[in-house]
Structure 1
Amino acid sequence: MNIFEQVESQVRSYSRSFPTVFSTAKNARLQSRDGRSYIDFLAGAGTLNYGHNNDLLKQPLLDYIQADGITHGLDMYTEAKEGFLQAFQKIIMKPRDMNYKVQFTGPTGTNAVEVALKIARKAKERTGIVSFTNGYHGCTLGSQAVTGNKGQRKGAVVSLGDVTRIPYDDYGDEDDDFMGLKLLDQMLSDPGSGVEVPAGVIAETVQGEGGMTAARMSWLQQLESLCRKHDMLLIIDDIQAGCGRTGTFFSFEPAGIKPDIVTLSKSLSGYGLPFAVTLLRPDLDLWDPAEHNGTFRGNNLAFVTARVALEEYWQDDKFAQQIKQKAEILEKRFSGIVDRFDADMKLKGRGMMRGIATPSGEIAGQICKEAFANGLAVETSGSWSEVVKCLCPLTIPEEDLNEGLDILENAFASVLSEKEAKAS
């Protein structure tokens, strides 16, 4: 691994937690160069909902490449783009009574967020944005400004302004329901608060990087009502929680809300290919031609795999039912771990976006290290990296899921037993 340490920037992070060279992967299994197999509870930080090298998606991609299909086409019309848009409209938007314009942004989630913030400000002719404690939205300057994590924000080295941060659901005094939203309502209603009405509010329904905190449906509904009351645009960042991760294609569906703007990326391509979109209410599509552009706005290879993923998994509710069944296994096993060790731990998340909050980042880090030593790749999240975070592929076989959970439970037992021995 000397070449990586000699040549690659020290900004790398995942390689520090998983210090091996990986060579191949299939569904929920990673294979290292030395021949060792690892169960993958990381899944590209939520990018591989359909697993590694999914055969249903791979062959259409190979066929498209073999036929010399368009690989790069700026924002020109292509058959691959046409096929994706038709499938997205027919399979996703129409059955959900959604009416959005689809803007193809740069290839990553932060590009989609930048578009959402810019168009909100353009539409409302206001500069302010409201975001929430522990929110994570990306590492470009606009996205970083609405991100809460201090470690991420310090990388900007410039002022990150025009943002008002409000407590997220279950932050601070848990006895005060909707504390943050009540505070925001009060500040926007009070001419002496010093807080101007913003262009929009950006929120995740489950804060993946922020510690797997899942907002209550009633909180999301109250947030939407507050946006309507004060003429603010509601932006839902569904980059990690979307594409089925919580059980439904969009994570906000169970709440019955209708965001003005939605950002999608990560698992949207279905195959781990770079791909991001921003969904806009039609009346918000106010751009002049090329006013926001980019060389890689739209990925034709990703159009192919994204279309097939929609056709194979979302034509009916069979896949959603499979996610539900695996989510129940996760909840049961994670609840069992929390009950077994009873060490100030807490079950976090929703659906197949789950985590366990431990007493400290040190403990969570040791648990993940022990798990990796025994064949499981799993990461941490949260303000202090205190949450052991599970994002296994939605297609993971139940046998691999249970084996991975066995490894994880044993890692909890090993680390917590060691801690107890040292304490005594």
Structure 2
Amino acid sequence: MSTKQAEATDMQVFNKLESEVRSYCRSFRTVFKKASNAFMWDVHDRRYIDFFAGAGALNYGHNDDSIRKKLVEYLMSDGVAHSLDMATEAKESFLVKFQNVILKPRGLDYKVMFPGPTGTNTVESALKIARKATGRTNVICFTNAFHGMTQGSLAATGNRFKRGGAGQPLGGTTFMPYDGYFGEEQDTSLMLGKLLDDPGSGIDLPAAVILETVQGEGGLNLASPSWLRSVERICRKHGILLIVDDVQMGCGRTGSFFSFEDAGLSPDIVCLSKSIGGYGLPLALTLIKPEYDIWRPGEHNGTFRGNNLGFVAATEALRFWENGQFQASIERKSVVIGNALKRFAANYPELVKETRGKGFIQGLVFHKPEHAASLCAEAFSNGLIMETSGPFDEVAKLMPPLTIEESVLRQGLAIVEQGLDRLQASLATPSEPALKQEMNA
């Protein structure tokens, strides 16, 4: 049986019964059955290195032993699984540990809201409370932003294809150019400040500015600390709330627990999801400065905002942050990733335009967008899972679990290099139709 025939057989049930909206299974055409830290295995017992990490939901890897043990113990003791927003022992333990391990050491004072189980839930709640607290409706967002797929978060998302899925006009937002949008020489925060200072600009004074410090889906665009601080100063000047969407970049993805720590920001609202659940379990937090926590009881709710299994896993996952060793390991391995990508860019200049990103979310930007997809396909055929991002899918993105062993990380990077080598060789060799056309000429 050929590879294509095997793939067709593997995917038969999904092709027949699952909605056409399915996405990742079209790129990774196999059926997975088990996983451990940075490895996944399919039903044919083929092993893959995971440089995707659940789109950032698995910062602590697949099936962490310690987290799994806590979950099993909780289940076997008849621990409460579902509780809406009732008080539970599991929620209490998480709140106390999050306060003591994450917030207090960083000098941060936030009330913790559980808005529902996903990233778009926390963004929706952040937009709502900003509008409620200020009495204003407009929200400033940025080019190439991605904040979610429900109506409010999608209105703050830049991607034309994703916005088109709404099926109706999306409003309540004004887009501004992100840092570097016009090149390194242009400070786009000056444009934002000028427009907000000018009563004739046509820009309604916003309730909030929402941003990602690194735009993951938008192509690994990295905002400089100075630009971020400038945007924060503008917000303070005009009484605008600053929302940082740390759904994908939080929980250590950029190196520190919050992605804004290096810039010294003090956001009014922070959105967390994905890896805050510790084990890939659905969980989201909206962190709100106490003075803006003016919700009336039940004014924002959701049936699954009390995911106690998520609380148990998240509480145990915070052990990684009890001292500086884990963060130091992230920083050390981030250098390995960055050095490798710089070397690839230097060795394959015909393919690679530049490198982008920070920490454990870095990537290669290709001159021709289709080559990013080709590299990911070649890598998958050689046992590595990675994806593309950017408005043209021009970036091949690496985002392994933060817990990946350095030896496994280097194995994955070697597969990336092998893919680049194969891709360059294929471009240097004329295809058979092209060769025939050249000979006939």
Task: Give secondary structure in 1 for the equivalent of 2:429.
Answer: helix
CA shift, 1:359, in A, is: 1.2
**One-letter identity of the residue aligned with 2:338:** E
CA shift, 1:170, in A, is: 1.1
**One-letter identity of the residue aligned with 2:123:** V
The CA distance in 2 between the partners of 1:397 and 1:7, in whole Å, is: 38
Query: Mean alpha-carbon deviation: is it higher for 339-348 or for 195-204?
Result: 339-348
One of 214, 218, 222 as aligned partner of 1:210: 218
Kept in 1, the 8 Å contact 2:86–2:306? The answer is no
The CA distance in 2 between the partners of 1:369 and 1:23, in whole Å, is: 20
1:331 aligns with 2:373: no
- Matched positions, count: 421
1:148 aligns with 2:158: yes
CA shift, 1:422, in A, is: 3.9
Alignment-derived partner of residue 171 in structure 2: 161
- After superposition, the C-alpha distances for 1:340-396 in whole angstroms (9 at most, x for unaligned) are 111352110011111111112210000000000000000000000000001100000
Alignment-derived partner of residue 318 in structure 1: 325
1:351 aligns with 2:359: yes
**One-letter identity of the residue aligned with 1:194:** G
- The equivalences for 1:73-92 within 5 A come to 73-92=83-102
The CA distance in 2 between the partners of 1:164 and 1:184, in whole Å, is: 11
**One-letter identity of the residue aligned with 1:201:** V
Kept in 2, the 8 Å contact 1:276–1:298? The answer is no
- After superposition, the C-alpha distances for 1:151-179 in whole angstroms (9 at most, x for unaligned) are 10000011111111011011123322x22
Alignment-derived partner of residue 4 in structure 2: none
- After superposition, the C-alpha distances for 1:85-135 in whole angstroms (9 at most, x for unaligned) are 000000000011110000001100000000000000001101100000000
Alignment-derived partner of residue 122 in structure 1: 132
Alignment-derived partner of residue 7 in structure 2: none
Alignment-derived partner of residue 309 in structure 1: 317
CA shift, 1:413, in A, is: 1.4
Alignment-derived partner of residue 95 in structure 1: 105
The CA distance in 2 between the partners of 1:149 and 1:163, in whole Å, is: 14
**One-letter identity of the residue aligned with 1:296:** F
1:26 aligns with 2:45: no
Alignment-derived partner of residue 425 in structure 2: 417
- The equivalences for 1:174-253 within 5 A come to 174-176=184-186, 178-179=187-188, 181-253=189-261
**One-letter identity of the residue aligned with 1:391:** M
Kept in 2, the 8 Å contact 1:270–1:306? The answer is yes
TM-score by length of 1: 0.98
The CA distance in 2 between the partners of 1:54 and 1:306, in whole Å, is: 12
Alignment-derived partner of residue 51 in structure 2: 41
The CA distance in 2 between the partners of 1:396 and 1:238, in whole Å, is: 21
Alignment-derived partner of residue 147 in structure 2: 137
CA shift, 1:412, in A, is: 1.1
The CA distance in 2 between the partners of 1:254 and 1:270, in whole Å, is: 23
Residues 370, 198 of structure 1: alpha-carbon distance in 2 compared, 3 angstrom cutoff: same
Give 1 or 2 for the bigger CA radius of gyration: 2
The CA distance in 2 between the partners of 1:191 and 1:246, in whole Å, is: 38
- The equivalences for 1:255-404 within 5 A come to 255-310=263-318, 312-343=319-350, 344-404=352-412
In structure 2, runs of 5+ residues without a counterpart are 1-10, 435-441
The CA distance in 2 between the partners of 1:348 and 1:32, in whole Å, is: 31
The CA distance in 1 between the partners of 2:252 and 2:410, in whole Å, is: 20
The CA distance in 2 between the partners of 1:153 and 1:336, in whole Å, is: 36
- After superposition, the C-alpha distances for 1:302-329 in whole angstroms (9 at most, x for unaligned) are 100100111x201110000000111010
RMSD after superposition: 1.1
